[in-house]
């Protein structure tokens, strides 16, 4: 008996639809994973700075002493302030002023304003923390014990304005983590989040 060419089993059609839906969902999830994947600070194999909230135990309480570095790490005795340029995907995202105290405390501020298409964005943030002499920088070339790690935590506010609409305000948590070289230059990563389910990262670098 010959089958009618216009006849297609219903079960087969449903299976094809399900396969297409599953493939589409997998592609979507891979794209979202790539989009939300946080940037990484160079080095620091022992410190997961791409999710700095996992390292909050490195922030020393106010009533505790901070262990100070010795050579070949930078000398903090006189303290100093660094003006660091902040960028994201190569675009300017303002300036951070970071102060390194002789006691090992670190604090700073970040201000940023930029426009994207018809929207205007502003960021204001302040943060505090400390150095940590136990962390060691490492990359493909090996370890560099002359670099000094620091970690800070604070609050940020994002203001978003679109012409003809009310201003949107978002408050969240910000972390500045990075490395200080013996010449007092710094580089690192600023990470913002509201609930730790997502994060956005910005590179920064500068000299006194």
For residue 104, give the 3-state DSSP assignment: coil
Strand pairing class (80-88; 200-207): antiparallel
Name, in order, each residue with C-beta under 8 angstroms of 117's C-beta and a sequence gap of 6 or more: none
Decide if 78 is inside a domain: yes
Residue 190 is assigned to a structural domain of this protein: yes
Phi-psi region of 19 (alpha: psi -120 to 50; beta: other; left: phi over 0): alpha
Q: What is the pTM of this model?
A: 0.76
Q: Is residue 134 part of a domain?
A: yes
Q: Does 19 reside within a domain?
A: no
Query: Is-contact 169 159, C-beta < 8 A?
Result: yes
CATH code, domain carrying 75: 2.40.160
In a domain, 4, yes or no: no
Coil/strand/helix, residue 33: helix
Backbone phi, psi, residue 58, to 5°: -80, -10
Instruction: Classify residue 90 as left (phi > 0), alpha (psi -120 to 50) or beta.
Output: left
pLDDT of residue 31: 41
| Pick from 206, 204, 203: nearest CA to 184 | 206
On whether residue 13 sits in a domain, the answer given is: no
SS3 content of the chain, % helix, strand, coil (to 5): 15, 45, 40
pLDDT of residue 3: 45
Coil/strand/helix, residue 182: coil
How many domains are contained in the chain?
1
Contact criterion met (CB below 8 Å) for 127 and 176 = yes
Does the residue 2 lie in any domain? no
Calpha distance 97→110 (Å, rounded):
7
**What is the full per-residue pLDDT of the chain (208 aa) written as tens digits?**
444 545 445 566 666 666 666 565 565 454 444 333 344 444 443 334 479 999 999 999 988 999 999 999 999 999 999 999 999 999 999 999 999 999 999 999 999 999 988 999 999 999 999 999 999 999 999 999 999 999 999 999 999 999 989 999 999 999 999 999 999 999 999 999 999 999 999 999 999 8
Burial of residue 141, with CB atoms counted within 10 A of its CB: 0-12 exposed, 13-18 middle, 19 or more buried: exposed
Whole domain around residue 194: which residue ranges?
A: 38-207
Give domain status of residue 5, yes or no. Answer: no
């Amino acid at each position: 008996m010959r089958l009618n060419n216009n006849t297609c089993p219903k079960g087969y059609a449903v299976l094809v639809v399900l396969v297409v839906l599953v493939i589409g969902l997998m592609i979507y999830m891979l794209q979202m994973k790539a989009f939300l994947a946080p940037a990484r600070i160079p080095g620091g194999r022992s410190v997961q700075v791409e999710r700095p909230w996992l390292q909050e135990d490195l922030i020393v309480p106010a009533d505790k002493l901070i262990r100070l570095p010795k050579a070949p790490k930078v000398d903090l005795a006189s303290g100093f302030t660094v003006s660091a340029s902040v960028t994201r995907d190569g675009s300017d995202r303002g300036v951070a002023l970071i102060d390194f105290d002789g006691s090992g405390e670190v604090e700073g501020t970040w201000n940023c304003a930029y426009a994207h298409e018809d929207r205007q964005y502003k960021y204001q943030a302040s943060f505090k923390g400390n150095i940590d002499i136990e962390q060691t920088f490492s990359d493909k070339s090996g370890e560099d014990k002359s670099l000094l790690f620091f970690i800070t935590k604070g609050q940020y506010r994002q203001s978003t304005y679109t012409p003809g609409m009310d201003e949107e305000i978002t408050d969240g948590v910000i972390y500045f983590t990075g490395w200080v070289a013996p010449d007092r230059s710094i580089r690192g990563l600023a990470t913002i989040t509201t609930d730790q389910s997502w994060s956005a990262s910005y590179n920064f670098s500068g000299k006194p």
